[in-house]
Amino acid sequence: MNSKPIIVALDYADQSLALDMAKRLDPQQCRVKIGKELFTLAGPAILEKLHELGFEVFLDLKFHDIPNTTAMAVKAAAQQGVWMVNVHASGGRRMMEATREVLETVAGPKPLLIAVTVLTSMESADLREIGIDLDPQQQVLRLASLAAASGMDGVVCSAQEVSVLRAQINREFKLVTPGIRPAGSDQGDQRRIMTPAEAISAGSDYLVIGRPITRAADPISVLKDINLSLG
């Protein structure tokens, strides 16, 4: 296990709420993630503020567009100094390869480039409705191997697929898993879930956790307990 596997999803409708939470968190204990809601509201300034607080930031905008547009968006993210950025693997090989190539042109440290496979909110019935007659695990495996072949540093998947993926893909390939739910916490809109300790023992590199921490009465003690549960 790496020394800092938890990424706290700062999904807030207000930048000051996100920064209040970030100030209570310790950058030695976790990383943070900024997603579509807060980035749309606050823009790149929120990244700068989190960097000033000492956090490594996962910019989760799940880019999915034609190769040139996606590559330029990834380049812009890299120029903001983010630690991790993601695209949708279903954008295809040429799209992913374009994002890898563009990063070669960016000076300085490069973000980890991660491809989203099948959203953790989806199950077989959801895939069938969009024309995919595979179960989530099969589709994750297919997209993860395409992502690896297209130069990605890793994938987002659910922890339920991690042990099968680990058996097939090299150890350096990062497995980033949202849909993490400590025992007894509310599942919400997530479908393919696992507890933090199970996810780490299956072989996840990073656990993305939002509401179970940010909506808890005492977020800091929940984060501490989760870190302790990982051993």
Ligand X SMILES: O=C(O)c1cc(=O)[nH]c(=O)n1[C@@H]1O[C@H](COP(=O)(O)O)[C@@H](O)[C@H]1O
Report the alpha-carbon distance of residue 203 to residue 177 in Å, rounded. Answer: 10
Q: Can you tell me whether residue 22 is helix, strand or coil?
A: helix
Structure tokens belonging to residue 186: 């509310």
Q: How far is the CB of 100 from ligand X (least distance, A)?
A: 18
Structure tokens belonging to residue 72: 């330029």
- Residue 178 within binding range of ligand X, rule CB under 6 A: yes
Structure tokens belonging to residue 96: 């992913």
Given 62, 75, 174, 224, the catalytic residue: 62
Report the alpha-carbon distance of residue 172 to residue 151 in Å, rounded. Answer: 12
Site string for ligand X, 124-163 (x = CB under 6 A): --------------------------------x-------
Selected binder of ligand X within 60, 153, 161, 205 (CB under 6 A): 60
Q: Which residues make Cβ contacts (< 8 Å) with residue 197, sequence separation at least 6?
A: 229, 230, 231
Structure tokens belonging to residue 103: 């990063």
Report the alpha-carbon distance of residue 2 to residue 21 in Å, rounded. Answer: 23
Site string for ligand X, 4-33 (x = CB under 6 A): -----x-x----------------------
Report the alpha-carbon distance of residue 156 to residue 117 in Å, rounded. Answer: 6
Selected binder of ligand X within 210, 222, 223, 226 (CB under 6 A): 210
Structure tokens belonging to residue 185: 């916490």
The residue sitting closest to ligand X, measured at its beta carbon, is 210
What would you measure as the largest C-alpha separation in the chain, in angstroms? 46
Binding segment toward ligand X, per CB under 6 A, in 42-50, 96-104, 115-123, 222-230: 115-123
62 is catalytic: yes
Q: How far is the CB of 93 from ligand X (least distance, A)?
A: 20
Is 110 labeled as ligand-binding? no
Q: Can you tell me whether residue 135 is helix, strand or coil?
A: coil
Q: Whose Cβ is closer to ligand X: residue 78's or residue 157's?
A: 157
Is 55 labeled as ligand-binding? no
Is 46 labeled as ligand-binding? no
In the complex, which residues of this chain contact ligand X (CB under 6 A)?
9, 11, 35, 60, 62, 86, 116, 119-120, 156, 178-179, 188, 190, 208-212
Known binding-site positions for substrate: 11, 33, 60-69, 120, 181, 190, 210-211
Residues acting as catalytic residues: 62
